[in-house]
Structure 1
């Protein structure tokens, strides 16, 4: 056994992933975008090494049966619905949300957040049960990454989010900006801070990366996450879902 954590495996393999159109580096999970392009034998090998593996924005009608047929019945198959939007449709909505933000918070985004900001984000992620992205990922040492956050005037981290250009330029999701990892302090919920963090992440990611489209995911029962995405202008795509084949039982996140 290699004994490496998922974060360490993804860092070790980051150049291989970046150069393979059928793969994407999610920071907390390896994602397969096009299993047919890398072959199911390679998907099986990667699953054995990582213990769990994702399938990004897959065809919801076929993905579950295909995974079972190719990889077996031993693993769990949690899934997240896909939400998408074009840049032209979403940017004005996000700008209105940011413009309307209250004056009792301070917010910012960075391609290279400081070590203290990263530590504060990881602490907040853990508090709310969101798997933290590794520091190297937030620094853009994997795919290009944007981190956004909101601070109280007392200097406390109260909301955050991360987005990345994780998809290969030759994949079916080329030019798509992924937004997620939204966390809001339990003491600050009900104020729209998750929506504000998401809007900030989308606006600043669009300005930095010039993507063609935006995508995010949310589990069917996670009404707050679904609400944040739709308020920012993303639309549920019922034909697509992101699925984790979780054989090791090690993948946990909201």
Structure 2
């Protein structure tokens, strides 16, 4: 089964997967995995945004100039709110220098790093999705996690019983029209509650960053973090990324809805 989560999450995953040809061919659109998104304010098709918000209840605005967020809020009106995430980024040299010693330190005893692509999809990837969902992260589809929609890599760490205890993901979401083409997004970093405090989040995040450069050929990496999530910010900065105060990521949802996890 390719999709996982609530009925709405599965519908949005399926829609994002099926829309990839359109996303790749449309200037301004970006593959966000769970909703439609634009990465260029000047190319936003507001009629399309209104249509998708009415049908999906969510729309993304990635890599937006900080000065444009209020413009987006004004355009959407009072029925929707726009939650924002800060953007941290690093070039290859900086990120690799920070992540190499983290990777070299290895895993705690009794944990194993899995080769996700070499394992049965209906077993390992489903467990990855389960780990994400049970820890508050809306998962991607199997095809997204396996790099069948856009180039991607997923990192997973398993305990002795084979259950996934930590995972992270990297992909190349920006199309050839984007000024961010060649930039990898890293996210979905998840650690189960019983394994926190051991540096696993930092490790799987570093592994996903290294894979973005070594396997995906990325020029740069970006990660998104909410301003009040200090633990995630420390983890990201430990991997060499630094805040870019000039850009933000916004997510529009109906004013009555809970904040969407990205």
Q: Confirm or deny a common fold (TM above 0.5).
A: yes
**Does residue 56 of structure 1 match 2:46?**
no
Deviations 1:200-229 (A, max 9, x none): 011112111111110001101111211111
Instruction: Specify the alignment match of 1:115 in structure 2.
Output: 122
- Equivalent of 1:47, from 46, 53, 74? 53
Moved more, 148-157 or 168-177: 148-157
- Equivalent of 2:175, from 158, 168, 174? 168
- Equivalent of 1:155, from 159, 162, 179? 162
Instruction: Specify the alignment match of 2:101 in structure 1.
Output: 96
Distance 2:83 2:50 in 1: 18
**Does residue 80 of structure 1 match 2:88?**
no
Normalising by structure 1, what TM-score? Answer: 0.91
Distance 1:224 1:15 in 2: 36
* Equivalent pairs, count: 251
Distance 2:214 2:114 in 1: 14
Deviations 1:171-218 (A, max 9, x none): 121110000001101000000100000000111121111111100011
Distance 1:251 1:138 in 2: 23
How far 1:156 moved relative to its partner? 2.6
Distance 2:12 2:252 in 1: 14
- Equivalent of 2:222, from 210, 215, 221? 215
Distance 2:107 2:144 in 1: 30
Contact 1:18/1:143 (CA < 8 Å) preserved in 2? no
Distance 2:170 2:232 in 1: 15
Distance 1:170 1:181 in 2: 25
1:1-254 alignment to 2 at 5 Å? 5-63=11-69, 65-104=70-109, 105-110=111-116, 114-247=121-254, 249=257, 252-253=260-261
Determine helix, strand or coil for the equivalent of 1:62: helix
Distance 1:170 1:126 in 2: 33
How far 1:110 moved relative to its partner? 4.3
Distance 1:237 1:40 in 2: 26
How far 1:233 moved relative to its partner? 0.5
How far 1:50 moved relative to its partner? 2.5
Contact 2:116/2:124 (CA < 8 Å) preserved in 1? no
How far 1:88 moved relative to its partner? 1.3
How far 1:153 moved relative to its partner? 3.4
